[in-house]
């Protein structure tokens, strides 16, 4: 992963030249990321968030606070605000890592980074605004959201699978997310999902080799080999994805200490449930009203979740297999944008790169224009091989799967 290069404020871009004419320290020092400047002046973000008003807080956590912002043209943004005194070296690394990753990847199922700012002891990241909040808010009753239907949950599962498939295999550089969970899956007004929070992303190793790294992520979603050795491959994301599938089916959290000890850990409990379909149906979220056809697809997704959470990393499928499983389950009613995309050539990449240039409102408009057109070329439902439906709605499991899982 390339390092961020730091440059003094000069006339190298629009914002830098503006700084020279104003001569104000209000802007702080701008980090120029190679030739693509995503820097946004602090006063622009203060205006957009009404000086970071508490009324505009969307959420908070160990990373800091996320604010809703409004641009002069009415466009909504989300601003993640962190203070250096709180985040330390670890947080600074995640701040820079997120910029480094998101300037390289553009996909309709990954939340778009629109800019960033460093001012005194503050670090800020600016994203596209996702009006329907996080998947966790919808699944676990955090707010006034109605329960997601099974069809909506299937579409979310496919969207996330495609976002991860792109990160792992289809981007110019392969990445590992390391912190996939419902609170890092955001929803738009059409209830389409995008993966967010790339501060823990690691460069994926070539081939099948693993890379050792500092243990990070969230308990309940950590693959066994990662939790015990600190070594990661893309299969740690596959494991976390399997946990998310279980949460979509059951409406339960990965870890719920309010429940009896024997069912606190979702994966262990769910894998016991998989022994029989009758048990599985009893484990399904009680808020779901399932048809017979829905029940069949629940069983197929449950089987996929079991494969994804196999204890041995080599026994888990890749995300391309997950996409192949989910596409036929969604069937005739799936949104048109869920269809597999095309080849994603140089023209699409150039269009995505152009989003980074100009003022924030200009970048927002270009991103919105490209969202449904040129960027769709990155949404590739790439098949990992011919599908075999001879055993039902789920493609034949890869040969590495043991019969007993």
SS3 annotation, the chain:
CCCCCCCCCCCCCHHHHHHHHHCCHHHCCCCCECCECCECCHHHHHHHCCCCCHHHEEEEECCEEEEEEECCCCCEEEEEEEEHHHHHHHHHHHHHHHHHHHCCCCCCCECCEEEEEEECCEEEEEEECCCCCEHHHHHCCCCCCCCCCHHHHHHHHHHHHHHHHHHHHHCCCCEECCCCCHHHEEECCCCCEEECCCCCCEECCCCCCCEECCCCCCCCCCCHHHHHHCEECCHHHHHHHHHHHHHHHHCCCCECCCCCHHHCEHHHHHHHHCCCHHHHHHHCCCCCCCCHHHHHHHHHHHHHHHHHCCCCHHHCCCHHHHHHHHHHHHHHHCCHHHCCCCCCCHHHHHHHHHCCCCCHHHHHHHHHHHHCCHHHHHCCCCCCCCCCCCCCCCCCCCCCCCCCC
Q: Beta 231-232 vs 57-61: how paired, if at all?
A: unpaired
The residues carrying an active-site annotation are 179
Residue environment code for 27-65, b if the CB has 16+ CB neighbours within 10 A, otherwise e = bbebbbbeeebbbbbbebbbebbeebeeebebbeeebbb
Q: Is 3 annotated as a binding residue?
A: no
| Cα–Cα distance list, 177 to 35, 101, 325, 384 (Å) | 25, 10, 21, 21
Residue list, annotated binding site for ATP: 80
Residue list, annotated binding site: 80
């Amino acid at each position: 992963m390339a390092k961020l290069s730091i440059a003094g404020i000069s006339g190298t871009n629009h914002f830098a030249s503006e700084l020279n004419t104003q001569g104000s320290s209000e802007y702080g020092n701008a980090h120029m990321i190679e030739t693509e400047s995503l820097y946004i002046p602090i006063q622009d973000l203060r205006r957009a968030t009404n000086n970071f008003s508490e009324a505009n807080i969307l959420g908070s956590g160990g990373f800091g606070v996320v604010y809703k912002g409004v641009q002069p043209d009415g466009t909504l943004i989300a601003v993640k605000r962190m203070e250096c005194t709180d985040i330390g070296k670890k947080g600074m690394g995640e701040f820079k890592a997120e910029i480094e990753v998101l300037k390289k990847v553009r996909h309709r199922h990954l939340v778009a980074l629109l800019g960033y700012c460093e001012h005194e002891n503050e670090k800020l990241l600016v994203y596209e605004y996702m009006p329907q909040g996080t998947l966790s808010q919808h699944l676990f009753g955090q707010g006034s959201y109605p329960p997601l239907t099974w069809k909506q949950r299937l579409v979310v599962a496919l969207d996330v699978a495609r976002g991860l498939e792109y990160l792992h295999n289809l981007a110019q550089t392969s990445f590992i997310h390391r912190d996939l969970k419902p609170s890092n899956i955001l929803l738009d007004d059409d209830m389409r999902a995008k993966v967010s929070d790339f501060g823990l992303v690691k460069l994926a190793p070539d081939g099948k080799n693993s890379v050792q790294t500092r243990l990070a992520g969230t308990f309940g979603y950590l693959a066994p080999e990662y939790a015990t050795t600190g070594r990661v491959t893309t299969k740690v994301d596959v494991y976390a994805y399997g946990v998310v599938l279980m949460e979509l089916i059951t409406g339960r959290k990965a870890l719920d200490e309010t429940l009896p000890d024997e069912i606190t850990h979702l994966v262990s409990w769910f894998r016991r449930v998989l022994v029989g379909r009758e048990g599985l149906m009893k484990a399904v979220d009680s808020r779901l009203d399932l048809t017979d056809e829905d029940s069949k697809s629940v069983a197929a997704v449950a089987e996929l979740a079991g494969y994804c959470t196999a204890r041995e990393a080599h026994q888990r499928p890749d995300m391309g297999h997950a996409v192949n499983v989910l596409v036929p389950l969604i069937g005739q009613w799936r949104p048109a944008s869920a269809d597999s995309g095309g080849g994603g050539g140089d023209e699409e990449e150039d269009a995505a790169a152009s989003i980074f240039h100009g003022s924030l409102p200009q970048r927002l408009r270009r991103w919105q224009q490209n969202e449904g057109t040129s960027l769709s070329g990155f949404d590739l439902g790439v098949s990992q091989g011919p599908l075999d439906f001879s055993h039902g709605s789920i493609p034949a499991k890869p040969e590495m799967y043991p019969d007993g899982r």
